[in-house]
Amino acid sequence: MTYEFKLADLGEGMHEAEIVQWLIDVGDTAKLDQAIAKVETDKAVVELPSPVTGRVSEIRVKDGQTAKVGDVLLVFETSAGSSGDGTPKSSETSAAATSSAPTNMSSVATSSSQSAPSVAARPRIQAAPAVRKLAFELGVDLEQVTPSSASGRVSLEDVRAYAERAGSATSGAQNGTSTAEVASTAATKEEQLAPSTLPVEKKVDQAGTEDQRQPLTGLRKRVAEHMERSWRSIPHATAFDEIDGGALIALRQALKPIAEQRGVRLTYMPLLIKLLIPLLKEFPIFNASLDEEKREIVYKRSYHIGVATDSPEGLLVPVMRNADRLTLMEVAAKLEKLIEGAQKRTLALPEVSGSTFTLNNVGSFGGGSGTPIINYPEAAILAVGRIQEKAIARQGAIIVRPVMPLALSFDHRLIDGAMSGKFLGRFKELVENPQQLMLDMV
């Protein structure tokens, strides 16, 4: 009998995944629960277990290609018998087996023999970033646009035509530019922002040097999409300040040997996270988000701190869940495991999703400072730079002190400049006098 193996609802608002590598080939026989593929979402790389025992007769989604929820990934030829001999598992058995996969990711794949979910995931409109940008600028809902191509991909011309028919083509033009100019700019950027739609090719200039194009795939593609969505959806504003890091350095130096005796590596980040928690409680709007559909502010009562981390494939944000309930040593130990998991791409979904506020230490990779982009849908993100000695004036004298730069980007719909200034001022006070943490310890 034929058994179609489909990509199931991944949860967390994700409706597609990229096949990183098939671990079996056509003609191979897979056993029940055997790992058969590695797939990558914008959250993690996970392994898919086989739902049946059977021979692979067809692989429909190749390595490097992206599949959407409901797409058939491959086809098995199975024989009748018990679930271990080819019969598809029941939904209960399948869920249990999937949850025991190496990544603890539940319900990653399903079969055509299982009943369809009561609420189908909305398919993602096929359109390049430049097309999405033009649609946003013209106020066009892509779901209402009928694609002209047989592939179902919405083009720039489709968006312009829809906007003109709706009589709103000129509403998206900004700063005096015409719709044609906006479209022309978007067309130019389409080549820059959407290389994934182009084949790998080389172009030789007159000097004989070669240009090379390659698809934007994997984590880098998803980071690009996430950054684009955040920048397009949230009106960013950024406030800057500097902190005297002398007291923070002294505190770490005093605690570091004790932490090492307990087998924990103590960096500045656990200290900053613990100093941040009382601040988020004092200014709850910074631990909130905007429900854009209902136009409501959602104040989060949990404190899940995202920590921007560099990985070989791009930026990830592992999440320190319930940081307010952890001791400093627990935060340090957990943070070390999260960073290691992010670099190896082995984190489960709960460890890379659901953050309420993000802290970015640009100093960890040599950055002096920088302007951070908000981790959508959060209300703010704080970036701390590398501590460096700097000459400052104090009581009429020039002295040299270790200075840490700060950059706070915030959603200007929810937070104004005055509030951001108060937030940074209070954070500065806590970091320069970290012993204040003793007053709030539980």
CB atoms within 10 A of CB 96: 12
- The residue ranking higher by pLDDT, 333 or 201, is 333
d(CA 342, CA 307): 10
Residue 406 · residue 393 · CB < 8 Å = no
d(CA 35, CA 96): 15
Q: What is the pTM of this model?
A: 0.60
- Given a cut of 90, whether residue 170 has pLDDT beyond it is no
Cα 72 to the center of its chain, rounded Å: 26
pLDDT tens for 1-42 read 889 998 876 555 567 888 888 999 999 999 888 889 988 776
**Tokens 């277990």 belong to which residue?**
49
Beta-carbon contacts of residue 105 (< 8 Å; ≥ 6 apart): 44, 46, 98, 99, 348, 349
Beta-carbon contacts of residue 46 (< 8 Å; ≥ 6 apart): 38, 39, 40, 101, 102, 103, 105, 108
pLDDT tens for 42-76 read 667 778 888 889 999 999 999 888 888 889 999 99
Mean pLDDT of the chain: 80
pLDDT tens for 284-308 read 999 999 999 899 999 999 999 999 9
- The residue ranking higher by pLDDT, 137 or 418, is 418
- Active site members: 412
d(CA 12, CA 317): 15
pLDDT tens for 106-133 read 344 444 444 334 334 446 677 765 677 6
pLDDT tier at 314 (50, 70, 90 boundaries)? Answer: confident
- Given a cut of 80, whether residue 186 has pLDDT beyond it is no
Q: For 114-118, 152-156, 173-177, 208-212, which range has the lowest pLDDT when averaged over its residues?
A: 114-118
The residue count of the chain comes to 442
| Amino acid sitting at position 181 | E
